[in-house]
Structure 1
Amino acid sequence: MRVIIVGGGLAGLTLASALEKATIDFVLLEARGRFDPQVGASIGLNAAAMRILDQLGAAEEIVRNTAPVELSKVHRSDGTLVMPPAFTFQILKARFGYGVSFLDRQRALKALMDSIAQKDKMLPNKTVLRIDQTDSGVSVKCEDGSSYNGDMVVGCDGVNSKASTRSEMCRLAREKDPDHFRVMNETRMSAEFNCLFGISDPVDGLIEGTVDTLFDKGRSMLVITGKHGRVFWFYHEKLDKVYYTDAKDFPRYSQADAEKLALKNAWRPVTETVTLGDLWEKRVSYTLVPLEEALFNIWSWGRIATVGDNAHKMTPNHGQAGNSAIESAAALANQLQRVHDEGPITSQTIRSALRKWQEKRQARVNATVKEAAAVCRLQALDSRMAPFVMNYVVPNATESLLRLVTDALIGAEIIEYLPVPARSFEGSCPFNQSQGIGKHESVLKRMAIASPLLVLSCWVATMTPMDSVNDSMHQFLQLTKLGERAQFLQNLHVFAGESVIYAIWLIESNRRANVMTFAQFPTIFWLLGLRFGPGVISPCYYALHFALSGVERFAAADARLTNVAYTRLILPLIVLFMGVQLFLSLNGYSIRVDMAWWHWRWMLQPQSLIAITQLIVVKTRMSKVSMHEDTMDNQIRDLPYIRWCLCALSAVSAASWIATRQSVLLDAFSPPLFPDGDLLGLNQQVTLLASLFWVGLLIHDIKSAGMVKESWAKILAIGFVSGALAGPVVSVALGKVDP
């Protein structure tokens, strides 16, 4: 098999190196005079791309030429910070084993060139003039009169070359199958923004290893300070309209245009102390280009394939264009290696391989292109909601942004026939191609799975008149119907069960994976439960938790981490506040005032006080926050506190359950703890049932993801035995004691 690669950029060199290592013959044609020109461009290589480059032997050279990116800063248009610096990049390195490497594109190309042994197959000054294909192969003709024959052509030459592989593919399709050509042109490449990008020598005020992003109306900036202070910068500006590449008025920029734009905007802040003019004064190289965008429906035709910008052109704000091209090249190499090894090499086998390649990459690429477009427009505040998002959502969504980047990396491609680098196993988040961007489980599907909880909630609501909940609570506190022993045991058992459930809710509220979900606000649900009945509200809480906290959120080991500063306060605060409430109840405390006062008394329940006390203690630094340190150094630091909390509360619940059953058996004349028609008892029983169902759903999730190896028979047996001996609350706690 022989593959003709057109274009010696990142994708072309990656594919050439991968094919060489699969012992597939190739020739690489590059229009420029050299494969590593200095054109003022830079590249940020993420963990997904670095793992592939590590397989090819190019990663070490790239790492030597970069400083680790550690801090991320987001600025307003005046340069002030939107939020404190974030350690996103450090966490990503801890998760995947590779940091983000930002360097001159020239150096990255040189590292890839060095990974290819057969330099005689890398041909510069080869501008493609025409491509032809037959049932037996392809032919590529160049401007210098040379021609090359092979089994297929792979275009890695971008979309702006004189006779791009994509344009030749469209020409051949039009000649052979006009309808196919019409479908291919459903997407028109367009540009709504331009970008002035460049490289500068060190600038005072910029810190090595820092990424500065500036949001502004109609424009944005991205500045990365690399090794030895070398600065890589991008200034994006919205155009006056959307331009299409096939139109006569599509913008083409000269060096003079770039200088004019830079000088006009030199005053604009980048940070509190640095302006665009400061970068411009120290410039080493620069280029102004329109930012084309397109996601083509078809990436191949016959024996011709297009990779990278030829198939999915996106804005650079997201930093995924080059990385996606490297992944696509690796995925294509996998398919070609199978064709080469399995044979025979025919038009049909090549078309089948190219179809499988696109099908495998399609969902991931589609989601990446859309995400890049959204990020570009958000940073340019290109909507009415964008300023609100920048000022109020972004500062509180660090974890959500971290999750987005993790989603973009976890499902990354790998060269399947080469050894997996040892470094990729060092992180806390295993790469998994069944997860990540474009492969999320539908929220609607998860809500449908959790629908029995909503049905249960509706049923209890029909059984619980609005005023009956307060009446039940009132009767519960006065407890005049039972004897003294049964009264004590009922109080203890109910309060202990409440404490276990609420402790679990509090633990979930500060878990990293549950950021920006309803699980962050357990006290709201608890107070609603006090007003409408826990049997009505708790199933709704569980349904929302399950729907919005898919298992992919827990792919990274640190995603299940809770903030120890909060978690270690849960047990003492619950013991204090619940204990006071129980003590008052056992000493004959009763309410003999109007229902308005009664309602507010419940609004000031210990659950609210627990949450408020936690917040005060943490905010005043009496209990230090250590989430970042734990993420980097000790991702299981919170487990002892979680176990102590749930085990201690469960022990009290189990003891009261056993004692209550013995009391009922010994006193044949004692009435049942929850007689027929007792709404309080109904609500408590439904809450326990909903809790058990929820735990079962979560166990199913982690078993499906391969995080738990125990069989269902063992899990159900443990749950049944513990529930029968110590009460259902203990079964719920066992399901959450080792998350």
Structure 2
Amino acid sequence: MAQNKPFRVVIAGGSVAGLTLANMLQANNIDFVVLEAYPRIAPQVGASLGLLPHGNRILDQLGLFDKIMELSTPVDTFTFRNDTGRPIASCRDVNHSFTERHGFPILFLDRQMVLQVLYDNIRDKSKIMTSKRVIKVELNDDTSTAITSDGSQYSGDMVVGADGIRSTVRGEMWRLANKLDPNSIDLSEAQEVPCDYNCIFGISSSCPGVKAGDMNSVFRDKTSYLIIGGLHGQAKNAIKAAMHEDILPGVKFSKLIENQISSSMTPLVEHVYKKWHFHRVMTVGDSCHKFHPIGGHGGNAAFETAATLTNLLVEALNGSSTGHLTTAQLDHVFRRVQELRHSRTLAVKGYSHEQQRTESLDDFSRRIIALHLLPFVDSEDVTFNFSCQIPASEKLEMLPVQRRERLIPFKDELLSEPKSRGLYNWLLIAFYVILAAAVYYGMWILPGSWGLAPLIGDVMTTGTFKEDQSFKLLRSYTGISALDDYFVFLAVIFMPGLRALSPSFRMLQVYFLGMIAQPIVIWTVESFRKRNAMTLLAIPSIWFTLFQSTGIGFFMPLYYAVYTWISDVEPYWWPLRRAVPLQNAKVLLAASLIGYFLPTILMFFPWGSSEAAQYTETFWQPSPIYVPLLSTALGAVYRFLNPDRPGEKTCPRAKDKPADVALLKQVYAVTGILGVLLHWYVLFGTLNSHYVSLVSVFVPDFSLYPMPLADGAHNIFLVDFWGFVVASYVWCVAAVWDLKRVGRTTANVTKAGLVILAAHFLLGPGAAMSAVWYWREEVMAIRIFSSVGKLHLD
């Protein structure tokens, strides 16, 4: 091809993918020609097209979204029905929810209408050629040529196959690859394409009970229905417009209408091809990735692949001095397109397939989920499942995006593209589990060599300590013998410190039991977040019961392991999933002060009576549980007294500032300051004491010989304490790393780790955690950051 000719793209197929790519190339002044097999560019085939928010965002960039909106009604209700048509569950205000979440609604409309809008937007209609079925592709060093059934030849720098699942261009690509580079493409893939379902589709006149904007999913055994209400009269008008068009010599479309059966059937191929390109040939849309249509992802995926191809072509051409690209350069462009899109299309294919399996009740577990669990699932959770595939979508990098307020940012609206923890996720979990095992060994196995069992037995038998004969051990607290025996055992362990039989032990108790206040508050906050509902993190009372019985140093790492396991996925970090219900955020500080701080202060009060000391110590034991219980109870009271506030189950408005952030930051600030005061009190008190030192308070003695009860109990607490400190430090550093890997901060994690370590020494571990969570809350609440440009070819 002469170098003075412009770079040209030959597009085989006037499909949604083909016409969308043509519009994108037009927007970038790249020459193209579209070769459509049918006589009309927008034939009426009776199929609908789902336009999801990420697809509508791309249409908005092309200036087409408003035109599409004029032809459709946004989906506003999801209704799931059983095989009798009775509703199982219903989600209303879907239009509000998706528009607030993603800035755009969900639309379903006739495929023909979308094609017409795309076609009408092409300025030079001569570039769109009908009755040009591509039957062959030829290659040479700097051009590729599409040959049509009428013998015409159309050459360009590249040929793009947008001719659907039965793509001729893909077949030609395989033929050429087998001829020129047999090892580059797996030709056996043509025989491996799965097809598990068939689809009967069509358009009807308006039906009673099916309103515009309603989407009805009917779950049946091995089959399902999807009925979507469109604008009144659209089908009738579409048919009327085509009635007098010739479809065969002497046969008009009206003849088909007169003799119509009622529907059409097509096999539903579901496949993402292993290789999308070869030499100067590329495939897009259904030609390279085909999904089950139930989720409405097909057209949107075609938009994304076309946008990715356009982005990389524009970038490559901008870097070319000739205005053309070599075969190697095009191959690099095509390879990067597939690299960027392949894993996402595989995920969407799997998601769509699983949705169909659920709606057709394919097995016992899906039947249980669809018919028996779905009625109890919150509407926002159902919407969440539909939203999960949206934020990771592509867009056109060179065209502006209207800055619509939204609750969930797209990946390009973050500081960097979100990434999984990968292998580090499992290494982090393994670290926590190993730490928990080490703490358990230090607290419950190693002490066997210290000879503590007979000493504890002696105190429980005599009812007093040798060092304090005035102490009288209480035997009954609740009247339940097993529970009372456990409380007696705890009193024997705790009292040597509380009664100052060991000043170093008492100082450690004051510090340690005061410092776990901040984790208790933070775990309670985490339990109220929407993203932790239906997980083990949603039940802090169980965690608090466990760590009070066995040691926080043992169960804290296990809690963090569970947290790490569930928090790897990017949707976990959506601002919408961060929120804490306002009624709980309002009362959390009071619940914390009353539930934990007050019992802790009472336990360390210098009671003259040993009975008072034991009662306050026993009252303190379940005090971590008081915090979430009080938060829930007081929150319910607040909700009762403020019935006019918007419900937590309603999707908030994107323009409204989250009401809970300031309240949570206040909780972190107050509890953090209390932690700092405690840290300094213990630090300066220890440094100025004649009886204790930092070593005697904080350094354990792991000697394998018998020791006094107070020293042994002190060592057990130290193992527990250091397990808590190490686990908390790692969790805080991981919190910074998490926000960086999901694109919410550019902080240097190494420097952050050093700052957090310094804060542990200067402010205390509890205050350090509060400070991290204070910063973290604000960062997690940001909805859209400044867009960062990406050079995908690097």
What is the letter of the counterpart of residue 462 of structure 1? Y
**What is the rounded CA distance, in whole Å, between the counterparts of 1:400 and 1:39 in structure 2?**
35
What SS does the aligned partner of 2:209 have? coil
**What is the rounded CA distance, in whole Å, between the counterparts of 1:480 and 1:617 in structure 2?**
32
Q: CA RMSD in A?
A: 3.9
What SS does the aligned partner of 2:145 have? strand
1:361-408 alpha-carbon deviations (Å, 9 max, x no partner): 211112221222222112212123212332566544766655554442
TM-score, normalised via structure 2 length: 0.76
**What is the rounded CA distance, in whole Å, between the counterparts of 1:616 and 1:217 in structure 2?**
44
What SS does the aligned partner of 2:202 have? strand
User: 1:578 maps to which residue?
Assistant: 596
User: 1:242 maps to which residue?
Assistant: none
Q: Is the 8 A contact 2:77 2:90 kept in 1?
A: no
Alpha-carbon shift at residue 591 of structure 1 (Å): 10
1:556-599 alpha-carbon deviations (Å, 9 max, x no partner): 33232222233333222233333563466345575999xxx999
Q: 1:11 aligns with which of 8, 11, 17?
A: 17
What is the letter of the counterpart of residue 730 of structure 1? A
Alpha-carbon shift at residue 422 of structure 1 (Å): 1.9
User: 1:215 maps to which residue?
Assistant: 219
User: 1:645 maps to which residue?
Assistant: 667
**What is the rounded CA distance, in whole Å, between the counterparts of 1:186 and 1:389 in structure 2?**
35
1:125-136 maps to which residues of 2 (within 5 A)?
125-136=131-142
Q: 1:412 aligns with which of 369, 390, 393?
A: 393
Alpha-carbon shift at residue 116 of structure 1 (Å): 1.2
Q: 2:525 aligns with which of 497, 501, 507?
A: 507
* Residue-pair matches, total: 684
1:638-681 alpha-carbon deviations (Å, 9 max, x no partner): 11221222222233333333333444445423686668442134
Alpha-carbon shift at residue 117 of structure 1 (Å): 0.6
**What is the rounded CA distance, in whole Å, between the counterparts of 2:44 and 2:743 in structure 1?**
47
Corresponding position: 1:708 with 2:745: yes
What SS does the aligned partner of 1:349 have? helix
The verdict on how the C-alpha distance between 1:573 and 1:313 changes in structure 2, with shifts beyond 3 A counting, is same
**What is the rounded CA distance, in whole Å, between the counterparts of 1:386 and 1:363 in structure 2?**
25
The verdict on how the C-alpha distance between 1:460 and 1:526 changes in structure 2, with shifts beyond 3 A counting, is same
TM-score, normalised via structure 1 length: 0.82
Q: 2:289 aligns with which of 312, 322, 330?
A: 312
Q: 1:455 aligns with which of 419, 431, 434?
A: 434
Alpha-carbon shift at residue 487 of structure 1 (Å): 10
1:128-180 alpha-carbon deviations (Å, 9 max, x no partner): 3333333353333333343323332211111347xx22233333444445555
1:229-378 maps to which residues of 2 (within 5 A)?
286-341=263-318, 342=320, 343=322, 344-378=324-358
Q: Is the 8 A contact 1:211 1:222 kept in 2?
A: yes
**What is the rounded CA distance, in whole Å, between the counterparts of 1:231 and 1:540 in structure 2?**
58
What is the letter of the counterpart of residue 644 of structure 1? Q
The verdict on how the C-alpha distance between 1:663 and 1:689 changes in structure 2, with shifts beyond 3 A counting, is same
Q: 2:723 aligns with which of 686, 698, 723?
A: 686
The verdict on how the C-alpha distance between 1:77 and 1:636 changes in structure 2, with shifts beyond 3 A counting, is same
1:197-216 maps to which residues of 2 (within 5 A)?
197-216=201-220
User: 1:553 maps to which residue?
Assistant: 571
Q: 1:605 aligns with which of 608, 622, 628?
A: 622
The verdict on how the C-alpha distance between 1:207 and 1:186 changes in structure 2, with shifts beyond 3 A counting, is closer
**What is the rounded CA distance, in whole Å, between the counterparts of 2:407 and 2:288 in structure 1?**
33
Unaligned runs of 5+ in 1: 233-253, 263-285
Corresponding position: 1:386 with 2:394: no
What is the letter of the counterpart of residue 494 of structure 2? F
Q: Is the 8 A contact 2:218 2:225 kept in 1?
A: yes
What SS does the aligned partner of 1:190 have? coil
**What is the rounded CA distance, in whole Å, between the counterparts of 1:257 and 1:613 in structure 2?**
70
Q: Is the 8 A contact 1:486 1:663 kept in 2?
A: no
What SS does the aligned partner of 1:408 have? coil
**What is the rounded CA distance, in whole Å, between the counterparts of 1:256 and 1:485 in structure 2?**
98
Q: Is the 8 A contact 1:184 1:296 kept in 2?
A: no
User: 2:159 maps to which residue?
Assistant: 153
Corresponding position: 1:94 with 2:100: yes
1:26-82 alpha-carbon deviations (Å, 9 max, x no partner): 211112222222322211112222222222221220122233333433333344444
**What is the rounded CA distance, in whole Å, between the counterparts of 2:164 and 2:266 in structure 1?**
14
**What is the rounded CA distance, in whole Å, between the counterparts of 1:52 and 1:182 in structure 2?**
33
**What is the rounded CA distance, in whole Å, between the counterparts of 1:332 and 1:430 in structure 2?**
23
What is the letter of the counterpart of residue 530 of structure 1? Q
User: 2:493 maps to which residue?
Assistant: 475
The verdict on how the C-alpha distance between 1:626 and 1:16 changes in structure 2, with shifts beyond 3 A counting, is same
The verdict on how the C-alpha distance between 1:549 and 1:86 changes in structure 2, with shifts beyond 3 A counting, is farther
**What is the rounded CA distance, in whole Å, between the counterparts of 1:484 and 1:641 in structure 2?**
40
User: 2:477 maps to which residue?
Assistant: none
**What is the rounded CA distance, in whole Å, between the counterparts of 1:304 and 1:147 in structure 2?**
15
Alpha-carbon shift at residue 462 of structure 1 (Å): 0.6
**What is the rounded CA distance, in whole Å, between the counterparts of 2:601 and 2:421 in structure 1?**
47
Alpha-carbon shift at residue 477 of structure 1 (Å): 5.9
Alpha-carbon shift at residue 513 of structure 1 (Å): 3.3
Q: Is the 8 A contact 1:6 1:155 kept in 2?
A: yes
Corresponding position: 1:465 with 2:444: yes
Structure whose alpha-carbon radius of gyration is higher:
2
1:205-234 alpha-carbon deviations (Å, 9 max, x no partner): 3444343323332112223334459799xx
**What is the rounded CA distance, in whole Å, between the counterparts of 2:745 and 2:114 in structure 1?**
40
User: 2:705 maps to which residue?
Assistant: none
Indicate the larger mover: 564-573 or 40-49: 564-573
**What is the rounded CA distance, in whole Å, between the counterparts of 2:421 and 2:750 in structure 1?**
28
1:286-337 alpha-carbon deviations (Å, 9 max, x no partner): 5322212222212122322221111111111121111111111222223333
1:528-567 maps to which residues of 2 (within 5 A)?
528-550=546-568, 552-553=570-571, 555-567=573-585
Alpha-carbon shift at residue 6 of structure 1 (Å): 1.3
Q: Is the 8 A contact 1:203 1:231 kept in 2?
A: no
Alpha-carbon shift at residue 602 of structure 1 (Å): 9.0
Q: Is the 8 A contact 2:508 2:698 kept in 1?
A: no
The verdict on how the C-alpha distance between 1:485 and 1:141 changes in structure 2, with shifts beyond 3 A counting, is closer
Alpha-carbon shift at residue 120 of structure 1 (Å): 0.9
User: 2:459 maps to which residue?
Assistant: none
User: 2:82 maps to which residue?
Assistant: 76
Alpha-carbon shift at residue 19 of structure 1 (Å): 1.6
The verdict on how the C-alpha distance between 1:598 and 1:713 changes in structure 2, with shifts beyond 3 A counting, is closer
Indicate the larger mover: 34-43 or 577-586: 577-586
Identity %: 25
What is the letter of the counterpart of residue 515 of structure 2? G
Q: Is the 8 A contact 2:547 2:554 kept in 1?
A: yes
Corresponding position: 1:524 with 2:542: yes
**What is the rounded CA distance, in whole Å, between the counterparts of 1:313 and 1:713 in structure 2?**
43
Q: 1:169 aligns with which of 167, 173, 186?
A: 173
The verdict on how the C-alpha distance between 1:667 and 1:696 changes in structure 2, with shifts beyond 3 A counting, is same
**What is the rounded CA distance, in whole Å, between the counterparts of 1:644 and 1:575 in structure 2?**
13
What is the letter of the counterpart of residue 740 of structure 2? K
What SS does the aligned partner of 2:225 have? strand
The verdict on how the C-alpha distance between 1:634 and 1:483 changes in structure 2, with shifts beyond 3 A counting, is farther
What SS does the aligned partner of 1:199 have? coil
**What is the rounded CA distance, in whole Å, between the counterparts of 2:207 and 2:691 in structure 1?**
86
What is the letter of the counterpart of residue 7 of structure 1? G
**What is the rounded CA distance, in whole Å, between the counterparts of 1:294 and 1:386 in structure 2?**
22
What is the letter of the counterpart of residue 368 of structure 2? F
Unaligned runs of 5+ in 2: 1-6, 237-255, 446-452, 457-485, 701-711, 778-794
